[in-house]
Amino acid sequence: MPQQRFMTNRKMLLGEDSNALVFLFAVNMLIFVLISFLKTVYYLTDTPLELFERQIVDWFRMPSSFVGVFYKPWTFLIHFFSQYHFWQLVSSMLWLWSFGYIFQDLSGNKHIIPVYIYAGAIGGVVFLTATALMPGPVNAAGSIMGAGASIVGIAVATTVLAPKYRLFPLVNGGIPLWVLTLIFLLLDFSTAFVVPSILISHVAAALVGFGYMKLLQNGTNLGAWMIRFYHWGNNLLAPKNTRIVKADTRGFDSTESRLNTILDKMNIVGYENLNESEKAFLKSVSQE
């Protein structure tokens, strides 16, 4: 089945409400802009940079100990959405967009945020645990911030989802996605190698991305509760006359909606696991 023919028809627009990747991108950018703005204010008032980092940046960094996180619990979740240095932001967002675009295009918008959060959170727990078990100069880890672990999880999840996906298909048949993933992991792990607990946390994040997609392919959706929670909160805050009504999934509004539903299923379980009517429908659409 020429799977990539259907993928090219699915556009991802910056203004699309269901674009989870843009949401992740925007949150990282907004926090960076906020930190940069406050840094400028401190700079204009001749405040020492050390004081700025202690009073502002430390509210976004996750401490390197469980005790520190106990006193600043919000940093456990916000640290993997926060970037402080400009080039750290540029590098992280380029990789996030590279893998996230493919991931969202293949699996829809319901999995990229769960993978991002799971990889960042579990990577954070592993970092704290590794730091506690390996104290001393060999593992001189301070507070951490950045989307590194989350992006590692998305990169691996994307590769597990579409191991045969090829980039630039017009160039000698294309470059396998796993090659890009391997380059990214080598760069990431070599950078994190100087602090063992960070390296271990990124390895754990890679396993999270792998495990999430394998479970999803076997029918277990670990991100379903996040989607339900989002819709519950959105429905709770919406005006009464605009609250979300649960869609009737027993039928299809149009050929396009049925096509998108079958493609989502195919991208998760594979073409061979579609039933005969779904295969026949895809064949008829491809011949139009």
In this structure, are 52 and 193 located in the same domain? yes
Task: Provide the pLDDT confidence category of residue 69 given band limits of 50, 70 and 90.
Answer: very high
Q: Does 4 map to a domain?
A: no
Q: How far apart are CA 59 and CA 123, in angstroms?
A: 19
Q: How far apart are CA 48 and CA 39, in angstroms?
A: 10
**Three-class SS state of 175:** strand
Query: Among all chains, which residue has been given the structure tokens 């670990």?
Result: 222
Q: How far apart are CA 128 and CA 149, in angstroms?
A: 13
Q: Longest Cα pair distance anywhere in the chain, in angstroms?
A: 71
| CA-CA-CA-CA torsion sign (259, 262, 267, 272) | negative
Higher pLDDT, residue 32 or 288: 32
Contacts of 26 (CB under 8 A, 6+ apart): none
The letter for the amino acid at 240 is: K
Q: How far apart are CA 201 and CA 152, in angstroms?
A: 10
In this structure, are 24 and 126 located in the same domain? yes
Chain-centre distance of CA 74, in angstroms? 19
- The mean pLDDT of the chain is 81
CB 3 within 8 A of CB 64: no
Q: How far apart are CA 72 and CA 68, in angstroms?
A: 6
Task: Provide the pLDDT confidence category of residue 263 given band limits of 50, 70 and 90.
Answer: confident
| CA-CA-CA-CA torsion sign (199, 202, 204, 206) | negative
pLDDT (tens digit per residue) in 91-110: 999 999 999 999 988 888 88
Most confidently modeled range among 32-36, 102-106, 165-169: 32-36
The letter for the amino acid at 163 is: P
Q: How far apart are CA 187 and CA 88, in angstroms?
A: 13
Contacts of 129 (CB under 8 A, 6+ apart): none
Q: Does 29 map to a domain?
A: yes
Domains: count for the chain:
2
Q: Does 242 map to a domain?
A: no
Percent of the chain with pLDDT strictly greater than 70 = 80
In this structure, are 159 and 259 located in the same domain? no
In this structure, are 255 and 224 located in the same domain? no
CB 202 within 8 A of CB 188: yes
pLDDT (tens digit per residue) in 218-261: 888 898 888 888 777 767 765 655 444 443 344 445 677 777 77
Of all helices (H) and strands (E), which one includes residue 21? helix 20-44
pTM for the full predicted model: 0.77
Expressed as residue numbers, the domain containing 119 is 11-233
Model pLDDT, residue 181 = 94
Model pLDDT, residue 16 = 45
Task: Provide the pLDDT confidence category of residue 7 given band limits of 50, 70 and 90.
Answer: very low
Of all helices (H) and strands (E), which one includes residue 166? strand 166-167
Q: What is the CATH number of the domain that holds 83?
A: 1.20.1540.10
In this structure, are 40 and 114 located in the same domain? yes
Distances (CA, A) of 261 to 231, 251, 276, 285: 19, 11, 15, 14
The letter for the amino acid at 150 is: S
Q: Examine the pLDDT at 139 and tell me if it is beyond 80.
A: no
In this structure, are 51 and 76 located in the same domain? yes
Q: Does 206 map to a domain?
A: yes
